[in-house]
Amino acid sequence: MEKQKLPNASAVLILGILSIVTCCCYGVVGLIFGIVALVLYKKDMALYKQEPERYTDYNNLNIGRICAIIGIVLSGVYILINIFLFATLGTEGIKDMQENLMEKIKYEQENN
């Protein structure tokens, strides 16, 4: 019997990596990619458990799952930080922080 690739193993890996890369997009994008990766992982894992000798991409599937979990955790932390900042500082406080940061960057660029 010829071994086949799991249908979504590459997609799980790509989405898992994207969930880590995009976790700083207010956390939402990374969270979505991570959740989709875990849903696809669950489907492929069910196929793999039925006939493990038939499929070859288990490593990509597992690495994608790990990346998705990391991306979900990072996205969740980023979302919680944003909620905390908005709750404590409000939009004006965050705007002031951004302006101060931009002034510091401009000052550093002018002096170097």
Of 63, 84, 61, whose CA–CA distance to 20 is shortest?
Answer: 63
Average of pLDDT values for 68-78? Answer: 98
Q: What is the pLDDT of residue 53?
A: 93
Whether 89 shows a pLDDT value over 80: the answer reads yes
Mean pLDDT (the chain) is 95
Where do the structural domains in the chain lie, given as residue ranges? 9-111
Average of pLDDT values for 46-52? Answer: 95
Residue 112 banded pLDDT, cuts 50, 70, 90: confident
Cα 49 from chain centre: 26
Please tell me the pTM assigned to this model. Answer: 0.86
